[in-house]
Amino acid sequence: MAEKRDETMGQDRRAIRRDFLKKLAAASAAAWMTGAPQMVSASEEHAVEQPPAKADACILLWLAGGMAAPETFDPKRYTPYETGMSVDSMLSTFPAIDTSVDGLQICAGLENIAQVMDRGTLIRSAVQPDLGSILHSRHQYHWHTGYVPPQTVACPHIGAWMAKVLGPNNPVMPPFVNIGQRLEGVGEKEELKAFTTAGFFGSEFGPMNLPFPEEAAAAVRPPKGMNANRFADRNKLFRKLVDQTPQRDYMSDYQQESMLRSLDNAYRLLSSKDRSAFDLSLEPKESYAKYDTSRFGRGCLLARRLVEAGARFVEVTTEYVPFLHWDTHANGHDTVARMHTEIDRPIAQLVLDLEERGLLDRTLVIVASEFSRDAIVEGKPGSIANDQATFKVDKVTESKHYGLHRHFTGGTSVAMFGGGVKKGFVYGETADERPLIATKNPVSVMDMHATIMAAMGISPRTGFTIEERPFYVTQDGKGKAVTELFV
């Protein structure tokens, strides 16, 4: 019976995924046909007053795959491994450690981050909906765009919103850079591509994708032996080829022009000395070593260099690949211990380096994930979502059972540093015993977006007209910034 149930659940998930992909593809195709989005005017809505910006740049450190809050920023009762222990006794598989903030503890393995918690704010009450079926792709789409997929339009990533509304800090630097996520050769690639985009804003506001930070310099360097005149000629020829592409008939004039402007932006960068910011080999060896824990660590170093050079928004991810990294459906404790070593020193060093350079106050650094994890509760109490656990056992009989394996949307943590947030501040809380739901000051994805955008000087009611309807930076323009987080 159990095998038949698992087979049925697997078929259900595949059917949901197929339907999801079809609708995403339709929205993406429609985006190429859309005209220029127009900002919602005061005549259509009440005048939107943009808040004063607390930050000029944003770095999103994305722990893709479902970072378990009780294993990182919200430790609960610790139960060490013991063969035969009851699964329902597992809340945290790491003991708590003190931080630089009196009374605040996080999990062992994050000793460096613990020492910089006095520079930032910790939200312990972020919540997510179940969305009918808890899939990483759907929740990552929701978190990055603010909209539950699928939508009838291709929704812009939050980085694209900042690029469009605020423009670049440095006209040579890409305003939106995405570091660490491969979009080919990994599972759920089409879903990843669906939110790693500027959507209806057009190509010029989309991300510069750099899957491997150590190779970033090559991405902004003309081919070897290419002199300036030849490079300019090749750019003119390429623009002509793009303009004559057979896909031209399926693109609006606005989207075509946006693509050509994105080519101009790339050409300007490749012709500029500012491209040295992408070259990690120029970083002093001692500094480089502090970040050299993993691809994510080197991505944090690249993010710091890019923000120094004027990038507006940079996302660095531990990379989402099904059943790898934070997607801990098995060997949860051992995998998270490895992830601790990958993220701990680089995140702390990024905060310290920005502070030392006088950039932290004007740079909003966010550490987040699509949802949390629990040992026995899927989604949240009362959820009808399919159970995503690989091992459905009552007793821990092997080390691979030790850790938190199910998706949990009832309460998770988000850390923020710089960008006007309070220092050494904790907002919200979750229950001490299961179910570990947010019990104080829950923060929805919509309000999280409003908070981030408010810090960047963008009202959550900022909107553009697309397909003859308003589309806002927060869903229906109803997001409310959590003002208690700011100084």
**Residue 241 contacts by C-beta under 8 Å, 6 or more apart in sequence?**
none
Tell me what pLDDT residue 41 has: 65
Of 402, 363, 299, 311, the residue nearest 71 (C-alpha): 402
Tell me what pLDDT residue 9 has: 47
- H or E stretch including 48? none
Buried b (16+ CB within 10 A) or exposed e, 102-127: eebbbbbbbbbbbebbebbbbbbbbb
- Classify burial at 316, counting beta carbons within 10 Å of its beta carbon; exposed 0-12, middle 13-18, buried 19 or more: buried
Task: Give CA–CA dist 108/80, Å, rounded.
Answer: 13
Task: Give CA–CA dist 132/222, Å, rounded.
Answer: 47
- H or E stretch including 439? strand 438-440
- For residue 334, the tally of other CB atoms under 10 A from its CB is 15
Q: Are 166 and 158 in contact (CB under 8 A)?
A: no
Q: How far apart are the first and last CA of the chain?
A: 57
Q: At residue 191, what is the residue type? A: E
Task: Give CA–CA dist 360/354, Å, rounded.
Answer: 5
Tell me what pLDDT residue 2 has: 44
- Helices 445-455, 158-166: inter-axial angle, 10-degree rounding: 30
Tell me what pLDDT residue 390 has: 84
Of 251, 38, 310, 24, the residue nearest 164 (C-alpha): 38
Q: Which residues pair with 314 in a beta bridge?
A: 59, 177
Domains of the chain: 49-465 (3.40.720.10)
Tell me what pLDDT residue 39 has: 83
Three-class SS state of 210: strand
Task: Report how far apart, in Å, the C-alpha atoms of 384 and of each of 4, 120, 132, 381, 406 are.
Answer: 19, 36, 7, 9, 14
10-residue mean pLDDT profile of the chain (487 residues): values are: 49 60 57 70 67 98 98 98 95 98 98 98 96 84 94 94 96 96 90 93 93 96 71 68 63 72 80 94 98 98 98 98 93 97 98 98 98 94 85 92 95 98 98 97 98 98 91 95 97
Buried b (16+ CB within 10 A) or exposed e, 372-406: bbbbbbbbbeebebbbbbebeeeebeeebbbbbbb
Q: Which residues pair with 107 in a beta bridge?
A: 96
Phi, psi of 38 (to 5 degrees): -110, 135
Tell me what pLDDT residue 112 has: 98
Task: Give CA–CA dist 74/368, Å, rounded.
Answer: 13
pTM given for the model: 0.89
Tell me what pLDDT residue 346 has: 98
Of 279, 308, 298, the residue nearest 220 (C-alpha): 279
Task: Give CA–CA dist 366/414, Å, rounded.
Answer: 7
- H or E stretch including 85? strand 85-86
Tell me what pLDDT residue 1 has: 47
DSSP state of 83: T
